[in-house]
């Protein structure tokens, strides 16, 4: 369990200069950002590493919505996002449905789920078993 993607997504206006916030970005210049940087920007998300889903219910800001880009954005964003979201909803419904047993974290620390390496998909540290749970 970790970020979907970590790497920087580059975009390039091949033959047009772009003016952004007073800066001129010359034609042919690659500009990039990673969703990890956006999602952990503490000026937008308070305590960004804290699992706090209720942040989307109370005190939710426009900046938070604009900064949530797990699928990238624009014409080259992820074409598989609806399929992926459908799968995520199905998995969560199966895992936490009424007839499923309760799970509690087992021998797992933050360092077991934090991305350590970027192999296009983020990887945790090598000597970790990742997120483990026990059925209670």
Please report, in range form, the residues annotated as the binding site. 78
DSSP-assigned letter for residue 12? E
Among 4, 48, 115, 122, the residue binding ligand HEM under the rule CB under 6 A is: 4
Q: Based on CB atoms, which residue is closest to ligand HEM, 1 or 107?
A: 1
The distance of closest approach from Cβ of residue 98 to ligand HEM in the complex, given in angstroms and rounded to an integer, is 25
Among 13, 64, 78, 133, the residue binding ligand HEM under the rule CB under 6 A is: 78
Report d(CA 9, CA 77) in Å as an integer.
10
Contacts to ligand HEM from residues 91-130, by CB under 6 A: none
**Residue 123 β-bridge partners:** 117
**Residue 136 β-bridge partners:** none
Q: Give kind and range of the element (H or E) at residue 103.
A: strand 103-105
| 84 is a contact residue toward ligand HEM (CB under 6 A) | yes
| Piece in contact with ligand HEM (CB under 6 A), picked from 14-22, 38-46, 74-82, 90-98 | 74-82
Structure-token pair, residue 95: 């895992």
Which residue spans within 2-88 are E strands per DSSP? 8-12, 18-20, 23-25, 30-34
| Piece in contact with ligand HEM (CB under 6 A), picked from 20-28, 47-55, 80-88, 101-109 | 80-88
What character string, x for contact with ligand HEM (CB under 6 A) and - otherwise, covers 9-28? x-------------------
The site for ligand HEM, by CB under 6 A, has a size of 13
| 5 is a contact residue toward ligand HEM (CB under 6 A) | yes
Q: Are strands 30-34 and 103-105 parallel, antiparallel or unpaired?
A: unpaired
């Amino acid at each position: 369990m970790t970020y979907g993607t970590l790497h920087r997504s580059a975009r390039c206006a091949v033959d047009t200069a772009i003016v952004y916030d007073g800066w001129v970005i010359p034609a042919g210049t690659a500009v990039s950002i990673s969703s990890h940087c956006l999602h952990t920007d503490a000026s937008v998300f308070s305590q960004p590493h804290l699992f706090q889903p209720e942040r989307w219910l109370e005190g939710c800001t426009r900046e938070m919505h604009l900064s949530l880009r797990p699928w990238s954005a624009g014409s080259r964003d992820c074409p598989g996002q609806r399929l992926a979201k459908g799968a995520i909803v199905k998995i969560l419904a199966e895992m936490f449905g009424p007839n499923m047993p309760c799970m509690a974290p087992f021998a797992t620390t933050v360092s077991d789920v934090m991305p350590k390496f970027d192999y296009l998909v983020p990887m945790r540290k090598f000597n970790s078993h990742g997120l483990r749970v026990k059925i209670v």
